[in-house]
Amino acid sequence: MSVRDPENAAPLTARNLTTGYARKNILEHLDFEILHGCFTVLIGPNGCGKSTLLRALCNLMPVRDGGVLLDGRQISEFSTKEIARRVGVLAQGPVAPEGLTVEDLARQGRYPHRSLFGQWSDEDETACRTALELTALTHLKDRAIDSLSGGQRQRAWIAMTLAQQTGILLLDEPTTYLDLAHQIEVLDLVQRLVREQQTTVVAVLHDINQAARYADHIVAMKDGRIAVQGSPEEVINKETIEAVFGVRVAIVACPVDGAPLAVPLTGRQK
């Protein structure tokens, strides 16, 4: 992964980044590179700064020190629309206005591509159609978001970020509050985007075992720092999980694909 090769250079990089809310710094002097074309998963206990990092990476956080580089340039030099044409973000638990349809939601993704008086173009139409096809929502496009199941709703939001046609997607807890079937539905979709569309995806997940099964690269965070990062095999081990989550685990190989799974020890087993 050479920086001189623009095709594979890290598209989004945090350098010595310090950011936070009010008077409190959440992240301090953090360095982080997103790997091009990979599915990176951020894991870590609540409040460790995963969401903050995700927001900082798309310029939604005030930067106190250091900065974020997008395609090698300071992200603050880009206009907000330019950023939104390159980086798509799905916030945690997003809310749509009551009665909004799936198609209307997807169309919002075209906002950064349109000028103030620009008309709806064929390109916009194609992007929306493709986004709905990829998320398998074409047959539901006229349904109201609030009438959908949790998984369909999350897919509709992902369709919006896909209509944005960005090379990078940042997903903040895309599976939280979904039942197992819908979690798998969303993660399968993300995996397909990475494999088939060469999208670079960074997602915050709470389930370590799902992270191990789906991620190309795992970043474990604790107290605003990156504790460990690497392939699932490198990150998911007894020592790291105990250090990061404070939970003792046994590691077993996944019977399906051999990924390392962490099984928490309970009660007397400890």
Partner 1 sequence: MRKSVTLLILGIFAVFLLSLRLGDQPIPYSQIIGVLTGDPDAAVAAQLIVLEVRLPRAILALLVGMALAVAGAIIQTVMRNPLAEPGLLGINSGGALAALILIVYFRNESAHLVPWAAFAGAFLMAAAIYGFSWRSGASPVRIILIGIGLGSMAGAGASFISAFGEIAVVQQAQVWLAGSVYNAGWDKVQVLAIWLVLPFVLTMAASRELDLLSFSEMSARSLGQRVEIARAVLILLCTMISGAAVAAAGLIGFIGLISPHVARRFVGHSHHRMVPVAALVGGFLVLTADLIGRTVMAPAQLPAGIVTAILGAPFFAFLLWERRYVRS
Kindly list the distances between the CA atom of residue 15 and the CA atoms of 4, 27, 83, in Å, as whole numbers in the listed order.
18, 11, 18
Please, which of residues 161-220 interact with partner 1 by CB under 8 A? 164
Question: Can you tell me the distance from the alpha carbon of 235 to that of 153, in angstroms, rounded to the nearest whole number?
Answer: 32
Residue 60 CB, shortest distance to partner 1, in Å, is: 6
Residue 92 CB, shortest distance to partner 1, in Å, is: 8
- The C-alpha torsion from 135 through 138 and 139 to 140, rounded to 10°, is 70
Per DSSP, 177 falls in state: T
Residue 184 CB, shortest distance to partner 1, in Å, is: 25
**Is residue 262 within a helix (H) or strand (E), and if so which, with residue range?**
strand 260-264
Q: Which amino acid, one-letter code, is at 29?
A: H
Tokens of 11: 């598209």
Please answer whether residues 228 and 256 qualify as being in contact, where contact means their C-beta atoms are separated by less than 8 angstroms: no
Q: Decide if residue 123 touches partner 1 (CB under 8 A).
A: no
By CB under 8 A, which span of 94-102, 148-156, 181-189, 240-248 interacts with partner 1? 94-102
Q: Decide if residue 256 touches partner 1 (CB under 8 A).
A: no
What count of other Cβ atoms lies within 10 Å of the Cβ of residue 180? 10
Residue 81 CB, shortest distance to partner 1, in Å, is: 4
By CB under 8 A, which span of 97-105, 176-184, 194-202, 242-250 interacts with partner 1? 97-105
Residues paired with residue 262 on neighbouring β-strands, in sequence order: 251
Among 15, 29, 85, 129, binds partner 1 (CB under 8 A): 85
Select 55 or 213, whichever has its Cβ closest to partner 1.
55
Largest Cα span, the chain: 67
Place of tokens 């990092």: 53
Q: Decide if residue 95 touches partner 1 (CB under 8 A).
A: yes
Select 109 or 174, whichever has its Cβ closest to partner 1.
109
Please, which of residues 29-68 interact with partner 1 by CB under 8 A? 55, 58, 60
Q: Decide if residue 119 touches partner 1 (CB under 8 A).
A: no
Task: Catalog residues that contact partner 1 under the rule CB under 8 A.
Answer: 22, 55, 58, 60, 79-85, 88-91, 94-101, 104, 108-109, 111-112, 114, 116-117, 146, 164
